[in-house]
Structure 1
Amino acid sequence: MLQLRDCRGALTVRYVTEAMEGHPVDLKLELIMLPVSDVDRAKAFYEAAGFRLDVDKAVSEEWRAVHFTPPGSEGSIMFGTGITSAAPGSAQGLYLVVSDIEEARAELVGRGIEVSEVFHDAGGLMYHGHDGGDIVHRAAGQARIAGPQPARADYGSFATFSDPDGNGWVLQEVKKRAPGR
């Protein structure tokens, strides 16, 4: 609701929403649930990786929630006991966008995290070319070429790592985000 006063001071009430003006309502991804088998082991891993611990709350032996946020991220992860029925390690393709793939990899390795070498994809894994081509996603290991994308094109260089249960993360280098992102 927007309240305005006209030149005589009379109050006018207007209801304005972005949706009414043709703009979509924001839908911001806030939280991803990660299935893990050992909550304390997962907590130690994400602390070592430099994620910020936001909450560790146990209500009972059957329910515990641990909430972490990656550095610089607005979205978070949560895992625990009694919060998901998914199989441990079944979360895959969790992307962390970084401005410098080699620096991000080195930081994680320095923290004791096992990270793949930097690679790019022969066909442009998750790279939306300037020619308007389709976005392509390949399964792990398919058509990987060692080293960053030769032109260091945004969305073109990657490194991967997994938590102790096998939940799979992808570092993706993006210096300038695509329009509207």
Structure 2
Amino acid sequence: MDWTLEVVIVPVSDIDRSIAFYRDQVGFDLDHHTVNEHMDVAQLTPRGSGCSIVIGNLPAQQEMAPGSLKGTQLVVADAAAARDELTSRGVECSDIMVFNDMDGGTFFGFSDPDGNSWAVQQIKARAERPLIPAEARQRFGAEQQL
């Protein structure tokens, strides 16, 4: 049996501000933003990822204090390019740290407006071998538009 991690709840204090940060500054795709008399919930997905984040005001989403999620990890093929992209959009990032020269040993970090922190790991192999091949991402995107 496969077990896949597909959603991480990120506790935030202001849903609209967080959507703007993750969509416009970090570059996640906004999958949906559902607002009705029962909820205000948004799901955003990093490009190329099979796992999304969810922010909102449902009871399960309010069990953690805003800003209490620490060290959730993203992976990129080029840490310097990713850091440059984020800083060009106004995201404050730590310096790049190289813990060892092996692929996977390079990191930097950033935090959202509430203080939820993210680690960004460089794995150069992702450039040639993404976890979700481009064809599958294109197919999924076409299915979402139906």
Gaps of 5+ in 2: 132-146
Matches within 5 A, 1:101-120: 101-120=79-98
Deviation >6 Å, runs of 4+: none
- Per the alignment, residue 69 of structure 1 pairs with 45
Which position in structure 1 is the counterpart of 2:30? 53
Give the TM-score normalised by the residue count of structure 2: 0.79
Tell me which residue corresponds to 2:122: 173
Q: Which amino acid aligns with 1:154?
A: D
Pairwise CA distance, 1:120: 2.6
TM-score, normalised via structure 1 length: 0.65
Cα distance in 1, alignment partners of residues 103 and 41 from structure 2: 35
In the other structure, the counterpart of 2:74 is 96
Shift of 1:110: 1.1
- Aligned residue among 57, 65, 84 for 1:87: 65
Partner AA of 2:120 in structure 1: L
What letter corresponds to residue 52 of structure 1 in structure 2?
Answer: D
The DSSP-based 3-state class of the residue aligned with 1:176 is helix
Q: Deviations over 1:45-103 (max 9, x none)?
A: 0112111000100122x521110001111110000112412100111111110111101
Indicate the structure with greater helix content: 2
- What residue ranges of structure 1 are gaps of 5+ in the alignment? 1-24, 122-148
Q: Alignment partner of 1:105: what SS? A: helix
Q: Describe the SS at the equivalent of 2:34.
A: strand
Residue aligned with 1:72, SS: coil
Q: Distance in 1 between matches of 2:75 and 2:103?
A: 10
> Aligned match of 1:40 in 16, 39, 48?
16
Q: Give the total of aligned pairs.
A: 124
Q: Please name the residue that 1:126 is paired with.
A: none
Give aligned-pair identity as a percent.
Answer: 44
